[in-house]
Amino acid sequence: MSITAADVNKLRQMTGSGMMDCKKALTETNGDFEAAVDLLRKRGAKVSAARADRDAKEGAVIAKTSADKKLGVIIHLTCETDFVAKNEDFVAFANQIADLALANKAANVDALKALTMDGLPLSEKLLEQVGKIGEKIDVINYVIMEGENIVPYIHAANRLGVLVSLNNAASDANFVAGKDVAMQIAAMNPIALDKDGVDASIIEREIQIGKDQAIAEGKPEAMLEKIAQGKLGKFYKDNTLLNQEFVKDSSKTITQMLDSIEKGLTVKAFKRVALG
């Protein structure tokens, strides 16, 4: 049968695929739109397989919360090139995925990919995007957080996302403070909330490093433990969020800054996801 330009355009609008791909699909399926859509999806799957060994180091990181701020998610959607990562449609697709995760409270990446978007599992929608864009695309990281008051932050044109869980009920003042803390996390990349969250192996390593430095400086054996503990305290100050100096006002720690905004205000947890 004859495939018209209107037919091709209709399929293109339905799928987002290129004009030539749509024309070939309609020709091969004798104008059957459903079969043509399936064919394009199958070709998307083939593209995905063919590009499985390609590096997908670019992408978009989206952090969002529910309207009541009690649920937050971060999704990391990858692609191969910066050109695609900055494309409005790609970023919009990443936001749709984040909205889908929030609406359904997806527990993990596999659960998220099993959710339905526009009548298809997200896993298949990802393959459609592969067929449409021609790059390896996937959700490779996803985190979910529940709490009393969660503040989201997206840094550097969707290259990094942060969620901060605060203990007090949401207010305009602590929302601003939460954003400041999120920017601190983005910039300083703390390894834990406080010293209690630091892995024992890291503590042991830092103590040994402190002792080795003291020995190299010629300090007496009896002083090594005390010196190492002092250096460990400095390590906590530099690398745990609540003990870090606030980047906007180094006269205060994060703990002190938060308490000055609202008495007793503190961070219960945080998540940070970045490209690369």
Q: From residue 246, how far is each of 232, 250, 256 by CA, in Å? A: 20, 5, 9
**Short-list 64, 60, 80, CA closest to 72:** 64
In terms of domains, do 112 and 76 share one?
yes
Domain that holds residue 95: 54-146
DSSP 8-state code for residue 81: -
Residue 115 lies in a domain: yes
Q: Please name the helix (run of DSSP H) or strand (run of DSSP E) that holds residue 53, with its range, or none.
A: none
Residue 177 lies in a domain: no
Rounded CA separation 257/243 (Å): 11
- CATH number for position 119: 3.30.479.20
Residue 188 lies in a domain: no
In terms of domains, do 60 and 44 share one?
no
Beta carbons of 78 and 137 less than 8 angstroms apart = yes
CA torsion, ordered 97, 102, 103, 105, to nearest 10 deg: 110
Residue-wise pLDDT for 75-108, tens only, equals 999 999 999 999 999 999 999 999 999 999 999 9
In terms of domains, do 88 and 131 share one?
yes
Residue-wise pLDDT for 176-233, tens only, equals 999 999 999 999 999 999 999 999 999 999 999 999 999 999 999 999 999 999 999 9
In terms of domains, do 61 and 136 share one?
yes
Quote the number of domains for the chain: 2
Q: From residue 59, how far is each of 139, 186, 191, 228, 253 by CA, in Å? A: 10, 17, 24, 42, 33
pTM here? Answer: 0.85
Residues 6+ apart with CB under 8 A from 144: 71, 72, 73, 101, 105, 106, 107
In terms of domains, do 35 and 58 share one?
no
In terms of domains, do 83 and 131 share one?
yes
DSSP for 246-261, please give it.
ETTEEEEEHHHHHHHH
Residue-wise pLDDT for 226-276, tens only, equals 999 999 999 999 999 999 999 999 999 999 999 999 999 999 999 999 998
CA torsion, ordered 265, 159, 14, 17, to nearest 10 deg: -170
Residue 218 lies in a domain: no
Rounded CA separation 157/272 (Å): 15
Residue with tokens 């990281």: 141
In terms of domains, do 41 and 60 share one?
no
Beta carbons of 34 and 106 less than 8 angstroms apart = no
